[in-house]
Chain A
Amino acid sequence: MVERCFVTKDLDEALRIRKETGAHPLAGGSDLMVQYKQGIGITPVFPWPVMVISGIEELKGIRKLDDGRIEIGALETPSAIAASDLVPWHVRQAASRMGAVALRNTATIGGNIGNASPKGDLPQPLILLDAVVVLRSADSVREVLLDDFIRGSKKTDLHEDELITAIRITEVPYSYAYYRKVGTRRANAISKLSISSLVLIEDGIIKDFRASSGAAGPKVIRSHEVEDLLKGHAVDEVPSLIPAITEGWDKAISPHAMPAYRRGTTARALEHFLSAVATLPPGPVIE
Chain B
Amino acid sequence: MTRIDDKVRRVDALEKARGEAVYLCDMRLPGMIYARLVRSSVPRARIVDIKLPELPEGYSFFSAKDIPPEGQNSLLMIAKDWRCFADGDVRYVGETIGILTGPSRAVLKTLDESIEITYDEQEPVVSIDDSLALKGGPILGDDNIHCQLVSEKGGDIERVLEGAARIFEETVETGFQEHVHLETNAAICTLEDGHYTFYISAQCPFYVRKSVAGLLGLKPEDIVVKQTTTGGAFGGKEHFPDVLAGPLLVAESYLKVPICLVFDREEDMLYSVKRHPSKVTFRTGVDKDGRILGSDINVYYNVGAYLSSSYVVLQRGVFHANGVYNFPATRIHGYGMATNTFPSDAFRGFGAPQTLFAVEIHLDHIAHALGVDPVEYKRSYFLKQGDETVTQGHIVEKVVLEEMLSQVAQKSDYFRKAAEYKRGSGRGIGMSFYNHGGAFTGNGEQAIIKAHLRLVKDGGHYTILCGQTEMGQGFRTALRKIVCAVLGVDMDDVTYDNPDTSKVPDSGPTAASRSTMIVGRLAEKAALEMKEHLGEDHYEVETEYEHPDGHPWEQATFKGDAYLGYGWGAACVELEVDPVTNEVHVLGIWSSHDIGKAIDELIVHGQVNGGIIQSLGYASMEKMENKGGHFRQSSMSDYVVPTSMDFPRQEWGLVDNPYEWGPFGAKGMGELVFNGADAAYIDALERALDTEVHKIPMPVEDIEAVRRDG
Partner of B109, one of A38, A182, A189, A269: A38
B645 touches A185 (CB 8 A): yes
Partner of B701, one of A42, A258, A272: A258
11 residue pairs A–B, Cβ–Cβ below 8 Å:
A38-B109, A39-B105, A40-B263, A42-B109, A182-B583, A184-B621, A184-B637, A189-B640, A190-B637, A261-B704, A268-B581
B262 touches A41 (CB 8 A): yes
Residues on A with C-beta less than 8 A from B266 are: 39
Partner of B262, one of A40, A43, A184, A185: A40
Tell me the complex Cα distance, A186–B580, Å: 16
Chain A residue with the shortest CB-CB distance to B106: A42
Residues on A with C-beta less than 8 A from B708 are: 260, 264
Interface size on B, residues (CB 8 A): 31
Tell yes or no: B700 within 8 A of A by CB: yes
Tell yes or no: B646 within 8 A of A by CB: yes
Chain A residue with the shortest CB-CB distance to B635: A34
B105 touches A261 (CB 8 A): no
Residues of A240-264 whose CB lies within 8 A of B: 258, 260-261, 264
Least distance between B357 CB and chain A CB atoms (Å): 21
Tell yes or no: A115 within 8 A of B by CB: no
Which A residues fall within an 8 A CB radius of B? 1, 38-43, 180, 182, 184-190, 192-193, 258, 260-261, 264-265, 268-269, 272
A185 touches B621 (CB 8 A): yes
Tell me the complex Cα distance, A268–B34, Å: 54
Partner of B264, one of A40, A43, A189, A193: A40
Residues on A with C-beta less than 8 A from B109 are: 38-39, 42
Chain A residue with the shortest CB-CB distance to B623: A184
Tell yes or no: B138 within 8 A of A by CB: no
Residues on B with C-beta less than 8 A from A190 are: 637-638
B581 touches A265 (CB 8 A): yes
Residues on B with C-beta less than 8 A from A192 are: 700-701
Which B residues fall within an 8 A CB radius of A? 25, 34, 105-106, 109, 184, 262-264, 266-267, 579-583, 621, 637-638, 640, 642-643, 645-646, 699-701, 704-705, 707-708
Residues on A with C-beta less than 8 A from B184 are: 40
A39 touches B267 (CB 8 A): yes
Residues on A with C-beta less than 8 A from B701 are: 192, 258, 260-261
A261 touches B106 (CB 8 A): no
Chain B residue with the shortest CB-CB distance to A39: B264
A185 touches B646 (CB 8 A): yes
Residues on A with C-beta less than 8 A from B638 are: 184, 190
Tell me the complex Cα distance, A70–B266, Å: 41
Chain A residue with the shortest CB-CB distance to B703: A261
Tell me the complex Cα distance, A41–B264, Å: 9
Residues on B with C-beta less than 8 A from A265 are: 580-582, 700, 704
A186 touches B643 (CB 8 A): yes
Partner of A272, one of B580, B583, B707: B580
Partner of A182, one of B105, B263, B643, B700: B700
Tell me the complex Cα distance, A261–B582, Å: 9
A43 touches B621 (CB 8 A): no
Other contacts beyond A42-B109, A190-B638: 4, CB < 8 A: A39-B266, A184-B640, A261-B701, A269-B581
Residues on A with C-beta less than 8 A from B707 are: 264
Residues on B with C-beta less than 8 A from A260 are: 701, 704-705, 708
B579 touches A268 (CB 8 A): yes
Tell me the complex Cα distance, A269–B578, Å: 11
Least distance between B266 CB and chain A CB atoms (Å): 7
Tell me the complex Cα distance, A258–B702, Å: 9
B264 touches A188 (CB 8 A): no
Tell me the complex Cα distance, A42–B106, Å: 5
B105 touches A185 (CB 8 A): no
Residues on A with C-beta less than 8 A from B25 are: 40
Chain A residue with the shortest CB-CB distance to B260: A41
Chain B residue with the shortest CB-CB distance to A262: B701
Residues on B with C-beta less than 8 A from A264 are: 704, 707-708
Residues on B with C-beta less than 8 A from A269 are: 580-581
Residues on B with C-beta less than 8 A from A180 are: 580-581
Tell me the complex Cα distance, A188–B644, Å: 11
B264 touches A182 (CB 8 A): no
A185 touches B582 (CB 8 A): no
Tell me the complex Cα distance, A19–B51, Å: 43
B642 touches A185 (CB 8 A): yes
Interface-central residue, A43, A186, A189, by most chain B CB under 10 Å = A186
Tell me the complex Cα distance, A85–B640, Å: 33
Residues on B with C-beta less than 8 A from A184 are: 621, 637-638, 640, 699
Chain A residue with the shortest CB-CB distance to B184: A40
Tell me the complex Cα distance, A283–B176, Å: 45
Partner of B106, one of A38, A186, A188, A189: A38
Tell me the complex Cα distance, A182–B621, Å: 13
- Asked, given contacts A186-B645, A264-B708, whether A1 binds B583 with beta carbons under 8 Å apart, the answer is no
B705 touches A43 (CB 8 A): no
Tell me the complex Cα distance, A1–B110, Å: 12
Residues on B with C-beta less than 8 A from A41 are: 34, 105, 262
Chain B residue with the shortest CB-CB distance to A188: B643
Least distance between A110 CB and chain B CB atoms (Å): 21
Tell me the complex Cα distance, A264–B702, Å: 12
Residues on B with C-beta less than 8 A from A40 are: 25, 105, 184, 262-264
Tell me the complex Cα distance, A192–B623, Å: 14
Tell me the complex Cα distance, A260–B703, Å: 11
B106 touches A187 (CB 8 A): no
Tell me the complex Cα distance, A41–B262, Å: 9
Tell me the complex Cα distance, A185–B263, Å: 26
Residues on A with C-beta less than 8 A from B267 are: 39
Residues on B with C-beta less than 8 A from A258 are: 701, 704
Tell me the complex Cα distance, A39–B100, Å: 15
Least distance between A275 CB and chain B CB atoms (Å): 11
B579 touches A185 (CB 8 A): no
Closest 9 CB pairs between A and B? A261-B701, A187-B645, A41-B105, A261-B704, A186-B645, A39-B264, A258-B701, A184-B640, A40-B264
Least distance between A256 CB and chain B CB atoms (Å): 13
Least distance between A68 CB and chain B CB atoms (Å): 34
Tell me the complex Cα distance, A190–B34, Å: 34
Least distance between A8 CB and chain B CB atoms (Å): 27
Least distance between B181 CB and chain A CB atoms (Å): 15
Residues on A with C-beta less than 8 A from B262 are: 40-41
Interface-central residue, A187, A260, A264, by most chain B CB under 10 Å = A264
Tell me the complex Cα distance, A127–B637, Å: 25
Tell me the complex Cα distance, A137–B548, Å: 81
A182 touches B581 (CB 8 A): yes
Interface-central residue, A40, A258, A268, by most chain B CB under 10 Å = A40
Tell me the complex Cα distance, A44–B671, Å: 39
Partner of B700, one of A1, A261, A272: A261
Least distance between B113 CB and chain A CB atoms (Å): 11
Least distance between A170 CB and chain B CB atoms (Å): 29
Residues on B with C-beta less than 8 A from A43 are: 106
Residues on B with C-beta less than 8 A from A188 are: 643
Tell me the complex Cα distance, A43–B266, Å: 16
Tell me the complex Cα distance, A269–B581, Å: 8
Interface-central residue, B105, B184, B262, by most chain A CB under 10 Å = B105
Least distance between B578 CB and chain A CB atoms (Å): 9
